[in-house]
Amino acid sequence: MKDKVVLITGASSGIGRALAFAFGREGARIAICGRKADAMNVVSDELSQAGIDVFALTADVSIEQDVKQFIEQTVEHFGRLDILINNAGISMRSMLIDTDPAVIQKVMDINFMGTVYATRYALPYIQQTKGSIVGISSIAGYRGLPVRSGYSASKFAMNGFLEAVRTELLHTGVHVLTACPGFTTSNIRVSALDAHGQAKGETMRDETNMMSADECAGYILQAVKDRKRELILTAQGKLTVFINKWLSSLADRLVYNTLAKEKDSPLKK
């Protein structure tokens, strides 16, 4: 990773922040963006204090011009782009029957269209370096999760998009990785939107035994080094994907029962 330029969206906290440190400690130069200027400034200062060369910009990935400008300014600043990590994401938690469709639209705009914008505008530069495109997806991109229909849809869309792009780029030397963490300690559940688009403000799961963001970032870093096609993390995540593929009716019941145990779950126990 020495002197590679790594662009990470949604890097103000959680897995994005951990990825910035993981790649930065390997000698990469880091470009990060996020929607909240104060949070971005804090992470940028932390990276600089750790001796990591960082370029930070406040940007909203759901806005095409923001993404285009971020990529162009990164290349202008560092002179190249080697690795794009599509990490920016938001979740939602409500039954579909109660959900304002605008909430699902917002989730799709950030999680899916943000990935489309960044990948499209970064691609010419990554083709020059024969670099990597990474999507931080989810087990919810393989198995639809009740009470998270919009989130699951966005991750299924991301998975299909990256698979298509990987195939298009088959003979170009560009590497495409779909990384799917299981439940990981991050603020995505705290910031999950309710039926009316308001952040929940608290996690609904016991995060005691979850994989840490730093551990997750370490696995993703290694997968990029190995130029892997796919990365599915946690034993629960791997088992969920396996059961859903081969025993789908059983998966319906297991997933329902598991998520019904969450705090304040609207699912009947």
pLDDT in tens, 192-204: 888 888 877 555 5
Residue 151 a catalytic site member? yes
Q: Is residue 132 part of a domain?
A: yes
In a domain? residue 249 = no
Is it the case that residue 186 has pLDDT exceeding 80? no
Q: Where are the beta strands (DSSP E) in 1-136?
A: 5-9, 29-34, 54-58, 83-86, 132-136
Helix and strand totals (H; E) in the chain = 9, 7
- Is 56 inside a domain boundary? yes
- pLDDT score for 158: 97
Is residue 189 included in any domain, yes or no?
Answer: yes
Amino acid found at 249: S
Find tokens 């080697």 and name the residue: 82
Distance CA 70, CA 59 (A): 7
For 110, the domain range is: 5-234
Q: Tell me the CATH number at 44.
A: 3.40.50.720
Write down the catalytic residue from 117, 121, 125, 151. Answer: 151
Question: Residue 37: in which H helix or E strand, if any?
Answer: helix 37-49
Please, where are the H alpha helices in 79-183? 101-108, 114-129, 149-168
Q: Say if 87 falls within a structural domain.
A: yes
Tell me how far apart the alpha carbons of residues 104 and 151 are, in angstroms, rounded to a whole number: 8
Domain assignment present for residue 259? The answer is no
d(CA 100, CA 215): 35
Euclidean distance between CA atoms 221 and 106, whole angstroms: 29
In the chain, what percentage of residues exceed pLDDT 70?
94
Token duo for residue 216:
């997750």
> How does residue 187 score in pLDDT terms, banded at 50, 70 and 90?
low
pTM of the entire structure?
0.90
Number of domains in the chain: 1
Residue at 242 is within a domain? no
Residue 261 lies in a domain: no
CA angle 8, 13, 19 (to 5 degrees): 45
